[in-house]
Amino acid sequence: MSEEMLEAYIKSYIEKQNHSEIIFHWQGGEPTLLGVNFFRDVVRLQKKYRPNGVTIENNLQTNGTLLNDEWGKFLSKNNFMVGLSIDGPEMIHNTYRTNRAGRGTFRQTMKGVEVLHKHNVNFATLTCVNNISGANPLQVYRFLRDEVRSPQMQFIPIVEPKSFRDTAPQHWPDSEVLFQGMPETEPNHPNSIVEAWCVSPSQWGTFLCTVFDEWLENDIGKINVPYFEACVETWMGRVNPLCTLAPMCGKGLAIEHNGDVFACDHYVYPQYKLGNIKDEALDDMQFSAGQEEFGRAKEASLPKQCRQCTYQFACFGECPKNRFTKTLEGEVGLNYLCAGWKQFFSHIDPYISMIVATMGYPIHKGVNSEAMQIKFK
């Protein structure tokens, strides 16, 4: 991103907010490739445009391989929150996380972990749950807890369709969408519709259930697993703070290095381009009719199977980017991970209900009409 583009973006992003806390998210590729000086400029520009009484925070997502003491001091001094991508112990991490020479990056990432601890940088781990890590839930969880000493663990299901790469599932021809549960929806099937490295729906469900049991038994209150803690809020009748399990999309735009702005990080497709910050104000794009339609479509386009699901209130059909299967009745728009989510929600239901009751709150298992009255702006 050019200096001019960076300044225009930071100025516009700050000016268009009506909150006293503004958060910037820096993702890549690998943002640390831009060097510490790029982020020194970021902080300088943020200070230049920060109104009185407003705090600005930065989230930086990195694989950790370039982190050194200079980075550690900078991140700590400027209170960056780091999201560290690490998929598990060496064998598991190195299966897919390799450098250009094809060598695993585990050791460099673990050096990055040491830098974060040495300089007391706030961080969370971001763990891709793929066909390998998905098959080893306890090994992954215990490694993150005991070796990485992760205070917050975010798990990301890896779901990548084999084709259709330039359009979102909502634009695929119905005839090419497979029914839920067909053998070709399994990643290890020779004619699978997803890449071999994807997590399967049942693996995803078992992964979450196994990690939940271990967390509940040993780590509740000590380690934050957003999926689990967010469920407590949902069972209390609140809107899930994680967009993937909330009723509405569209509150986090994605901006590319050339200034192009898209509806979401997961919807960087031509149909979902909102404009370019050189030509249009960010808030005009954020609150445009098209973006609101995108946001509301998440709930509006749910198939009947989701609308009748006991766990609609907790799931809302998960991320629309993963909705590329058909229900057994032949309705398109069902999430690939549906079976896994159902397994997880029904497993945790009694425990989460007990936690909510112990906290003295009534339990709301149903779509809360108040929660659904969310304003887009």
> Annotated active-site positions, please?
265
Closest distance between ligand SF4 and the C-beta of residue 268, in Å? Answer: 10
Binding mask 281-320 for ligand SF4 (x = CB under 6 A): -----------------x------xx--x-xx--x-xxxx
Cβ closest to ligand SF4, residue 223 vs residue 338: 338
Phi, psi of 250, deg, nearest 5: 100, 10
DSSP-assigned states of every residue in 301-324: T--HHHHT-TTHHHHTTS-GGG--
- Name which position in 321, 332, 352, 355 contacts ligand SF4 (CB under 6 A): 321
Structure tokens at 179: 């029914």
Closest distance between ligand SF4 and the C-beta of residue 319, in Å? Answer: 3
Cβ closest to ligand SF4, residue 148 vs residue 245: 245
**Cα separations in angstroms, 371 against 33, 218, 239, 367:** 41, 32, 6, 8
Reduced to 3 DSSP states, what percent helix, strand and coil does the chain have, rounded to the nearest 5? 45, 15, 40
Cα separation, 192 vs 175, in Å, equals 16
Structure tokens at 325: 């299967």
End-to-end CA distance of the chain: 28
- Name which position in 39, 123, 155, 267 contacts ligand SF4 (CB under 6 A): 267
Cβ closest to ligand SF4, residue 125 vs residue 343: 343
Binding mask 151-190 for ligand SF4 (x = CB under 6 A): ----------------------------------------
For ligand SF4 (CB under 6 A), the number of binding residues is 22
Cβ closest to ligand SF4, residue 121 vs residue 306: 306
Closest distance between ligand SF4 and the C-beta of residue 362, in Å? Answer: 22
**CA 153 from chain center: how many Å?**
12
Q: Which stretch binds ligand SF4 (CB under 6 A): 77-85, 223-231, 243-251, 273-281?
A: 243-251
Cis peptide before 29 (omega within 30 of 0): yes
Report which of 203, 172, 173, 171 is spatially closest to residue 187, judged by C-alpha positions: 203
Binding to ligand SF4, residues 32-71 (CB under 6 A): none
Structure tokens at 185: 């929806």
Binding to ligand SF4, residues 322-351 (CB under 6 A): 335, 338, 341-342
Taking CB under 6 A as the rule, does residue 72 contact ligand SF4?
Answer: no
Cα separation, 39 vs 26, in Å, equals 10
Place of tokens 């609150």: 287
SS3 32: helix
Structure tokens at 361: 């709150």
Cβ closest to ligand SF4, residue 112 vs residue 303: 303
Cβ closest to ligand SF4, residue 207 vs residue 267: 267
Place of tokens 């690939």: 336
Residues that bind ligand SF4 (CB under 6 A): 243-244, 249, 264, 266-267, 298, 305-306, 309, 311-312, 315, 317-321, 335, 338, 341-342
